[in-house]
Amino acid sequence: MISERYLNIAIWVGVLGFALYANFSGETYWVTLATRATIFAIAGIGLNFALGYGGLISFGHAAFFGIGGYAVGILASHAQSFTPIYDGFVTIDGTQSMVIAWGAAVVAGALTALLIGALSLRTSGAYFIMITLAFGQMFYYFAISWPAYGGEDGISIYVRNSFPGLNTLVPFQFFCLVFTVLTIVILLVRTMNKSPFGLALNAVRQMPQRVETVGIAPFKLRLIAFVISGMITALAGAMFADLNRYVSPAMFSWHVSGEIMVFVILGGVARLMGPVIGAATFVAFEEVLGRQSEHWLIYLGLALLIIVLFAKGGIVGSLARRGTARHG
Amino acid sequence: MSLLIAEQFLNGIQLGVMLFLMAAGLTLVFGVMGLINLAHGSLYMVGAFAAAFVAANTGSYLLGIVASVVAAAVAGVLIETLVIRRLYKRDHLDQVLATFALILIFSEGTRMIFGSFPLYLSIPDALGGPITLPGGIEYPLFRLTLIAMGLLVAVGLYLLITKTRVGMQIQAGEADREMISALGVDISKLYTFVFALGAALAGLSGALVGTLQSVEVGMGEPVLIMAFVVIVIGGIGSIQGALVGAVLVGVVQTLGAFLLPIWSKMLFGSPDAGAVLSSMLIYILMAGVLLIRPQGLMGQAA
């Protein structure tokens, strides 16, 4: 057993080290895999914020992942065809700038989370799971039936969006950008957890009645947590769109919600770096087993079943001792 | 036009009763065991594949239907004893993850056995063709049979739960689990029975709906999510709620998909807006119910 803090640093160094090694040994495919894992990690951190710290079991985070992706895809498709998105009192043009497109994705994610959260947080427990799942599916059908942006075919982004000072087409430069975003998100989440908001959220998860009696409204706190969570996952979706240069309704599929949840569980619920090691393990699993068998999902299912039934606490939970008591 | 609407309305009822078969099992399992089961859609798929396989090899549709019920119930007993019963005391997160894992196992397992191509079940000759209903509506006899079967199952479930010994135990189990095991009811047998019952209903509806559509891997998932919408609307744990919610969702979905594109074409000249809206309609209905009655139409206050 080592302290969680050292384990966290080891995970961070491990991902960076893997990408560096891959880059300097000329394995650009591995760099892309590391980028994929990093983006999944951000999506997982988003969910972990609601699920781990807020106790909100959302099975609809694919909605935010997809919204983020579509924000980037829609902006890029207008920039590619030189047609404005909106042409009325003001003209809104598409863009191929990552800064603007990712910003738009985060805003869109926040609005979506506000809408879904305001409705589904009126309930709790199993209801909350089913409702988030259903709303997620609503966005899936919406994307499929909306002909203006490709319907079932999705949107292709012909050239990866640009970032000032970088050539994003070089896999390692794109990785560095995504990894920097991951680091910032981790530091932000860490700061939030220690802030009065984070402490109150933690208390709401453990003992909502007691928090209410001291004058904090649990609904409001949960809603804020849900919105922050949606924003982070939408940002991951935006980066995923740029990684693949393609968005499709599959990003909204409820399997994506399930997979994001798997990143969190595999790594360890309510652990800062849990989703990072969880996502990295998932991508490695997918890569190694996917090569062995086209039916690799059956092994993923078996592994997940065994983890849930017999190994609580995920990877971080089994390697590190708790720094501070979090589960009451 | 009104004949067309009447036909679509009947289609909506037909979808509704099939959704009820799914939702009844889900809501029973939740009500009695407190378990949220994502793998319910897999049991639906198992039923459909069993029916397609047996019907193709014996030539008898009826045997196929029997096989769907038996296979799904056996699969239900199997996963209940191996996996599900370890989950009753766990939190919902573990239940969701473990049953999500079961979906992956079932889906890939079925793909390994039957391949990725869809199978087809054909409507038996005796039930083929349309019949004329009062009012002059020509309606497919098979769909009418589905409605009748669904309603029959609903009545059967009602009688089972209110009039039989095991039904009393189920009701008691919903009210107070510890008490009925203290009174000497073998609770783990009861749980297995309830789970298998739900599984059998899911398998039956998979086979029946699979006859109208096709039998393929992943067919249960959209139905599962619609059944969740039904449960949220009807109220969790309530069989009557499941019936009301299922018929409501079935009719709204079917009529919406039919009427909204037509209205949208009349108003805006293009059916697209209506098609987009109709794909979201049942979720908007669910949102509306949540705003007015978060516990569902027939649910008790949470």
Domain ranges of chain B: 2-292
Higher-scoring residue by pLDDT: A67, A323:
A67
B104: nearest CB among A122, A145, A298: A298
Arithmetic mean of pLDDT, A236-264: 95
CB atoms within 10 A of CB B148: 12
Domains of chain A: which residue ranges? 2-321
pLDDT for res B230: 95
Q: How far is A315 from chain B (nearest CA, A)?
A: 16
In the numeric block, which tokens belong to residue B111?
């793909």
Residue A319 scores a pLDDT above 60: yes
Q: Contact at 8 Å (CB) between B36 and B30?
A: yes
Looking at the domain that runs over B2-292, which CATH code has it been given? 1.10.3470
ipTM of predicted complex: 0.89
Residue A35 scores a pLDDT above 90: yes
Pairing label, strands A2-3, B130-133 = unpaired
Residue A322 scores a pLDDT above 70: no
pLDDT for res A326: 47
In the numeric block, which tokens belong to residue B19?
């959704």
CB burial class (10 A; 0-12, 13-18, 19+) of residue A327? exposed
Q: Which of A13, A39, A284 is nearest to A175 (CA)?
A: A39
Residue A323 scores a pLDDT above 70: no
Q: Which of B249, B250, B272, B248 is nearest to B260 (CA)?
A: B272
How many pairs of residues across A and B have Cβ atoms under 8 Å apart? Answer: 116
Question: For A112-128, what is each residue's pLDDT tens digit?
Answer: 999 999 999 988 888 89
Nearest CA in chain A to B282: A138
| CA pair distance B115, B203, nearest whole angstrom | 20
pLDDT for res B302: 46
Whether residues B94 and A129 touch (CB distance < 8 A) is answered with no
| Residue ranges for chain B with pLDDT beneath 70 | 301-302
Q: Which residues of A85-102 are buried (b: 16+ CB within 10 A; e: fewer)?
A: eeeeeeeeebbbebeebb
Confidence of residue A169 (pLDDT cuts 50, 70, 90): confident
Whether residues B83 and A309 touch (CB distance < 8 A) is answered with yes
Contacts of A225 (CB under 8 A, 6+ apart): A49, A50, A53, A54, A56, A201
| CA pair distance A16, B223, nearest whole angstrom | 42
pLDDT for res A324: 47
| CA pair distance B156, B140, nearest whole angstrom | 25
Q: What is the CA radius of gyration of chain B?
A: 20
Q: What is the CA radius of gyration of chain A?
A: 20
Looking at the domain that runs over A2-321, which CATH code has it been given? 1.10.3470
Whether residues A146 and B276 touch (CB distance < 8 A) is answered with yes
Contacts of B107 in chain A (CB under 8 A): 297
Whether residues A123 and B272 touch (CB distance < 8 A) is answered with no
In the numeric block, which tokens belong to residue A119?
């409705």
Higher-scoring residue by pLDDT: A218, A63:
A63
Residue A327 scores a pLDDT above 50: no
Q: What is the dihedral of CA B128, B129, B131, B132, to 10 degrees?
A: 170
B275 close contact with A: CB closer than 8 A? yes
Residue A90 scores a pLDDT above 80: no
A309: nearest CB among B86, B232, B290: B86
Across chain A, mean pLDDT equals 90
- CA distances to B172, B190, B199 from B168, rounded to whole Å, are 6, 11, 20
pLDDT for res B247: 96
Arithmetic mean of pLDDT, A248-274: 93
- CA distances to A166, A299, A300, B278 from A306, rounded to whole Å, are 43, 11, 10, 40
Question: For B175-195, what is each residue's pLDDT tens digit?
Answer: 777 788 788 888 889 999 999
Nearest CA in chain B to A52: B93
In the numeric block, which tokens belong to residue A241?
């769109």
Return residues 94-133 of B near A (CB < 8 Å).
94, 96-98, 100-105, 107-109, 111-112
Contacts of B271 (CB under 8 A, 6+ apart): B261, B262, B264, B265
Whether residues A141 and B228 touch (CB distance < 8 A) is answered with no
Arithmetic mean of pLDDT, A150-165: 87
B232: nearest CB among A57, A127, A146: A127
| Per-residue three-class SS string for chain B | CHHHHHHHHHHHHHHHHHHHHHHHHHHHHHHHHCCCCCCHHHHHHHHHHHHHHHHHHHCCHHHHHHHHHHHHHHHHHHHHHHCHHHCCCCCHHHHHHHHHHHHHHHHHHHHHHHCCCCECCCCCHHHCCEEEECCCEEEEHHHHHHHHHHHHHHHHHHHHHHHCHHHHHHHHHHHCHHHHHHCCCCHHHHHHHHHHHHHHHHHHHHHHHHHHCCECCCCHHHHHHHHHHHHHHHCCCCHHHHHHHHHHHHHHHHHHHHHHHHHHHHHHCCCHHHHHHHHHHHHHHHHHHHHHCCCCCCCCCC
B228: nearest CB among A57, A130, A142: A130
B112: nearest CB among A145, A261, A295: A295
Contacts of A269 in chain B (CB under 8 A): 93
B23 close contact with A: CB closer than 8 A? no
pLDDT for res A167: 87
Q: How far is A299 from chain B (nearest CA, A)?
A: 8
